[in-house]
Amino acid sequence: MADDTAAAAPDSPEPDEAQEARTAKRRKLLRILAIVVAAVALLWGIWYFLTQAGRVSTDNAYVGADSATVTALVPGPVEAVRVSGTQAVKKGDVLVVLDDADQRIAVADAEAALRQARQRYGQADATADAARARVTARGAEIRQAQARLRDAEATVERARAELARRESIAGTGAVSGEELTAARAALKQAQAARDLAAAGVTSAQATRGSASGDLGAAEAVVRGTTIDTAPDVAAAQARLDKAKLDLARTVIRAPVDGIVTNRQVQVGQRIAAGAPIMVIVPIDSAYVDANYKESQFGKIRIGQPVELTSDYYGGGIVYHGKVVGIAGGTGAAFSLIPAQNATGNWVKVVQRLPVRIALDPKELKAHPLRVGLSMEATIDTRGK
């Protein structure tokens, strides 16, 4: 028995050596695991610092667009509707055609009024020319009357001289009483003729004054104008242009490229001017309004790059954009009934502020979005 114990004694260190070997191996594995974990943590930290640090995200973001509400600019019954809901249209495409019978009559009436205005201007111009000719003729008559007056005055002077000569020799008996009487009568006749000639000059001057007044009235209508710039003609032309514009507006065209939505017009319906008939959504110029928490705005600036994804296409499609604007107030501030927190009994709620994000047009054209779709937006606040 003692021999067996003695024989077994030299083998007893083997279990201890095996245990130490296993412990050393375990420690080595733990060190390797720790190194791996530290390396992974370091790599993750480097990756986060390089790609995720300074990025703020939100899933409270929605697609928007400056939709165009199509309205009728003139009233009338609907003759044809050329588009349907959800149809894509281009700018200038015909959407709705109205019955244009009333507008065509208005154009014909305006054209007739324009012709009449031109005719009245022509008459006024001719009247001015005639008045101008009358003034010239009255001037000639005045000159004739003045010539007659001068002739009459000369006759008076001759008659006066004859009378004086006869009176000077009447005492010598060389002139009879009858000749003296005839000389005196001739003087009075010459004076009467002079007075008549003077009255003729006055009458001719008065006639010329009347003609000048008529000329002034006629020229006032056409002075400083042409047949195209005369007020009546210009007003008639403006009415004709308005009538033609109303006629053109009976064909309602698409103001922008986009998708037809909310169509509210049918054939045979009579619509009033200004009535909305449909909405066109320009999906090629869509944008995103992302509502970020107020605590996230420390480093958000206009111009920073943004990455966005949509459930519409899934996470595999990433849109790129940039911050183009920050709203002037929260949605609650501009709500119909703003919050009133002056009582003191209130619970602080983190507010959100809309951020306008412009999308890359090429990406938007490759993967069109629709207004109202939800988005996830991540702003890289380190970007410029």
Domain count, the chain: 3
Helix and strand totals (H; E) in the chain: 6, 14
Centroid of chain to Cα 355: 28
E strand spans, the chain: 55-64, 68-71, 76-81, 88-89, 94-98, 251-253, 258-261, 270-271, 276-281, 287-293, 305-310, 314-326, 352-359, 374-380
Contact assessment for residue 250 and residue 75, using Cβ atoms and an 8 Å cutoff:
no
pTM above the 0.95 mark? Answer: no
What is the per-residue pLDDT for 135? Answer: 72
Question: Are 231 and 199 part of one and the same domain?
Answer: yes
Residue 25 forms part of a structural domain: no
Residue 195 forms part of a structural domain: yes
- For residue 29 the two structure tokens come to 């594995």
Structural domain containing residue 273: 68-99+250-281
**312 to each of 63, 319, 365, 372, how far by Cα in Å?**
11, 12, 15, 11
Specify the CATH number for the domain of residue 161: 1.10.287
End of a domain among 244, 272, 307?
244
Residue 176 forms part of a structural domain: yes
Q: Closest by alpha carbon to 373, among 317, 289, 307?
A: 289
Give the angle 124-129-135 at the CA atoms, nearest 5°: 125
Cα(201)–Cα(146) distance, rounded to whole angstroms?
6
Question: Are 181 and 210 part of one and the same domain?
Answer: yes
**368 to each of 123, 284, 308, how far by Cα in Å?**
65, 7, 13
SS (H, E, C) 47-94: HHHHHHCCEEEEEEEEEECCCEEEECCCCEEEEEECCCCCCEECCCCE
Q: Closest by alpha carbon to 301, among 56, 62, 58, 66?
A: 56
The β-bridge partners of 320 are 307
Contact assessment for residue 76 and residue 271, using Cβ atoms and an 8 Å cutoff:
yes
What is the per-residue pLDDT for 35? Answer: 87
- For residue 164 the two structure tokens come to 């004086």
For residue range 35-67, what is the model confidence (pLDDT) as tens digits?
888 888 888 777 666 655 568 889 999 999 999
Contact assessment for residue 57 and residue 378, using Cβ atoms and an 8 Å cutoff:
yes
For residue range 190-214, what is the model confidence (pLDDT) as tens digits?
778 777 878 877 877 777 777 676 6
Give the contacts of 215 (CB within 8 A, at least 6 positions apart). 128, 131, 132, 134, 135
- For residue 83 the two structure tokens come to 């588009």
Is residue 273 pLDDT above 80, yes or no?
A: yes
Cα(92)–Cα(251) distance, rounded to whole angstroms?
10
For residue range 94-118, what is the model confidence (pLDDT) as tens digits?
999 999 999 999 999 999 999 998 8
Residue 216 forms part of a structural domain: yes
Q: Where do we find the tokens 């349907």?
A: 84
Cα(278)–Cα(256) distance, rounded to whole angstroms?
13
For residue range 311-367, what is the model confidence (pLDDT) as tens digits?
999 888 999 999 999 988 887 777 766 666 666 666 777 888 999 999 999 999 999
Question: Are 157 and 265 part of one and the same domain?
Answer: no
Residue 26 forms part of a structural domain: no
For residue range 110-156, what is the model confidence (pLDDT) as tens digits?
999 999 988 887 877 777 777 677 777 777 777 887 787 788 778 87
- For residue 287 the two structure tokens come to 């944008």
Residue 37 forms part of a structural domain: no
Question: Are 177 and 217 part of one and the same domain?
Answer: yes
Cα(167)–Cα(169) distance, rounded to whole angstroms?
6
Question: Are 207 and 262 part of one and the same domain?
Answer: no
